[in-house]
Amino acid sequence: MTPPRIGLDLVDIPRFQRALERREGHWRERVFTQEEWDHAAERADRAAALAARFAAKEAAFKALGTGWGDGVAWKDVAVRGGGRSAPELVVTGRAAEVARDAGLQLTVSLTHTETTASAVVLAYPTPA
């Protein structure tokens, strides 16, 4: 059985905001799902919401042990909810295969201040 794993990531929100402004189309098409983009569009703190979701993707890759490699794609990990409801990770594609093969489930916690967004992902053994 694979032991539990933790992934953590921090994102500087002002820097992330500048990157969004420079290449919004890139982020929208390649990194975020339509659901994530729509969720953030409804929020006054749009950049912080997207930064936290980006941190969740990075933290999930770390918890899975793939980093940006092993064929995983940004959209293989998405965050549903958050804000007024608990965030939930939706894992698909190659990331789901890696999790399944390792016998792991993933859960996420998000937070942010005015300047920093953070996510922690716990990958834990799937109950038999």
Q: What is the pLDDT of residues 23-66, one digit of tens each?
A: 989 999 999 999 999 999 988 999 999 999 999 999 999 999 98
Give the residue from 107, 91, 99, 112 showing the smallest Cα distance to 13. Answer: 112
Tell me the one-letter amino acid at 12. Answer: D
70 pLDDT higher than 80? no
Contact 27, 19 (CB under 8 A): yes
Angle 77-9-72 (CA atoms, 0-180°, nearest 5)? 30
Residue 68 has pLDDT above 80, yes or no: no
What pLDDT is attached to residue 82?
81
Please tell me the predicted confidence (pLDDT) of residue 122.
98
The mean pLDDT value for 85-92 works out to 94
Topology annotation, domain 5-125: Ribosomal Protein L22; Chain A (3.90.470)
The domain spans of the chain are 5-125
pLDDT exceeding 90 applies to what percent of the chain? 82
